[in-house]
Structure 1
Amino acid sequence: MVDCVNTSGKRKTAIARAVVKEGTGRVTINKVPIEVFTPELARLKIEEPLGLVPEKAQNVDIAVIVNGGGVMGQAAAARTAIARGLVDFYKDEELEAVFRSYDRSLLINDDRRKLPKNPMGPGARAKKQKSYR
């Protein structure tokens, strides 16, 4: 175990930075305790890595700062940062295997991005229809 670990996670344009240190199990997202974080769906997504290893999550304090992107993008970035932080803090291959078997994106950033909009249409794929009659 290390004294303090800094990790990061990304999803679309959201970037999360997490600080994991020894403590009593407090988790904050942008200085808001996770118990009162809204919306609930995003909170449940962020809590996934903590629920997989509750005995290890009880012994650390995690502070996450997230900016950019939307609500769910920030939640996905935060959960990646938290999972990476726990793995780095405990330096445990078993813990890494648990996260990897549950969901690969807990440890690896999701590199999917939005397609750029093209001319002649409202979005990336849709085009204005043509009729020759």
Structure 2
Amino acid sequence: MSVPVRSGPGRAPGARGPAVLRHAAAAGVVLLGVAGGYGATVLAASARSYCDAAWEPQHRLVFTMVDWPVMQLFGLLMAVGAWAGARHLTARLPIAWRGLLPAGLVLLALAVLTVGSFAYFGTLDAYPGDSGLCPPDNVPPWWPTWLPA
């Protein structure tokens, strides 16, 4: 004989966690996604300016008005998507996994976004950079060689 699970105001305490904590976690994920998008954008802009590749005024305008908002939106969507997917997949796991796994997947998604946006937006292959500090593939020397670019 199984005991029915109560829902609503009379449910067992701690059954799904306080709503305030769930909403705070969601707000934190949104802020983390925006911060991740900002970090990816700053990294790509740093690479472009260091190598002087597509860093003329007209390219800066396109980077600021098009690429920057796109990366911000991708950061937000990747963080929220990873968090929501992980929350769905961990709904039946112990409470420790319900907190750790979504956080880890959000950080992994933002790391993938950062490396991907650096490779796509930051290193413009075969663009004639004028600084003389970078090789023809426009990957700055300060970028780690073990990360793809």
TM-score bucket (shorter structure): 0.3 to 0.5
Structure with more of its chain in strand, by fraction = 1
Higher Rg of the two aligned structures? 2
In the superposition, the TM-score normalised over structure 1's length comes to 0.35
In the superposition, the TM-score normalised over structure 2's length comes to 0.32
Structure with more of its chain in helix, by fraction = 2
